[in-house]
């Protein structure tokens, strides 16, 4: 995947059994391939943020950010004082001490903080969340958002459509990178999202790509053998 041309890849700590040690290895592989390694956290946890950033992540995708205070907490966990509250360690990201000054400067200029919009509370507070300094963009979590509306997985439900319309209008007007997760490996849907104004796009995930390729390939083979 790192060699296939993606701009960034996310290591998922929220819905997987990946350990922090395995995350460090994945971050290293992705970064050494010239791709930006991001980490989707299991929670808006300053300790976990510190550890993955020390491991060399270029940024974090933070779940369940439902208020400006949540957003501020995430930014402060990524950055050192006085801009943030992150504790200082000398690990891979800091060149084990030799590149600390470079890393400190890089953090404020290049590191990425993306908030997940996956609850109706986030939708209702989206404008103030995105106004927080240091938030670079957002990404919609469609399954959890629909769940917060009481209609899990029903993306065509009127309440879900209304929430998505509000996200699109508010998010694109914010000047921050508007993002969405295209869950199935469907290039037509991804292009549709681009036309809608989304620019931070998560294209499927490894298990869906693998499942889709296996099923479509076997279906094609079996249809020719009948």
CA 68 to CA 174: how far, in whole Å?
Answer: 14
In degrees, rounded to 5, the angle at the alpha carbon of residue 14 between the alpha carbons of residues 188 and 216 is 35
User: How deeply is 6 buried, as exposed, middle or buried, from its count of CB atoms within 10 A (0-12, 13-18, 19+)?
Assistant: middle
pLDDT-derived band at 167 (thresholds 50, 70, 90) equals: very high
pLDDT at position 102 is: 95
C-alpha separations of 178 from 37, 139, 194, 196 in Å: 19, 6, 10, 10
Residue 18 belongs to some domain of the structure: yes
pLDDT tens string 17-29: 999 999 999 999 9
- The count of structural domains within the chain is 1
pLDDT mean across residues, the chain: 96
The CATH number for 146's domain is: 3.20.20.60
Whether 3 is in a domain gets the answer no
Q: Are 24 and 79 in contact (CB under 8 A)?
A: no
* Residue 157 annotated as catalytic: no
As given in the structure block, the two tokens for residue 26 are 């994945």
Asked whether residue 28 is assigned to any structural domain, the reply reads yes
Angle at 47 between CA 43 and CA 50, to 5 degrees: 105
Judged against a pLDDT cut of 90, whether residue 107 lies above it is answered with yes
The parent domain of residue 80 ranges over: 8-225
Mean pLDDT in residue range 210-223 = 95
**Which whole number is the average pLDDT over 156-182?**
94
2 falls within a domain: no
- Provide the whole-model pTM: 0.94
pLDDT tier at 172, thresholds 50, 70, 90: confident
180 located within any domain: yes
Give the percent of the chain with pLDDT over 90: 97
């Amino acid at each position: 995947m790192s060699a296939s041309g993606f701009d960034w890849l996310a290591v998922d700590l929220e819905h997987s059994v990946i350990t922090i040690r395995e995350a460090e290895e994945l971050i290293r592989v992705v970064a050494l391939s010239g791709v930006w390694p991001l980490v989707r956290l299991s929670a808006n946890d300053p300790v976990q943020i510190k550890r993955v950033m020390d491991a060399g992540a270029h940024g974090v995708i933070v779940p369940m950010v439902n208020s400006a205070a949540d957003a501020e907490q995430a930014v402060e966990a990524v950055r050192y004082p006085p801009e943030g509250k992150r504790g200082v360690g000398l690990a891979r990201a800091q060149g084990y001490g030799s590149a600390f000054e470079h890393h400190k400067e890089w953090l404020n200029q290049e590191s990425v903080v993306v908030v997940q919009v996956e609850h109706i509370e986030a939708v209702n507070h989206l404008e103030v969340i995105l106004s927080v300094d240091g938030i670079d963009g957002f990404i919609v979590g469609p399954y959890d958002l629909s769940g917060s509306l009481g209609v899990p997985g029903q993306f065509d439900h009127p309440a879900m459509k209304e929430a998505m319309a509000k996200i699109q209008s508010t998010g694109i007007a914010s000047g921050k990178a508007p993002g969405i997760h295209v869950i199935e490996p469907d290039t037509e849907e991804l292009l549709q999202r681009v036309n809608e104004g989304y620019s931070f796009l998560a294209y499927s995930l490894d298990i869906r790509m693998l499942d889709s390729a296996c099923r479509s390939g076997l279906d094609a083979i079996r249809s020719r053998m009948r």
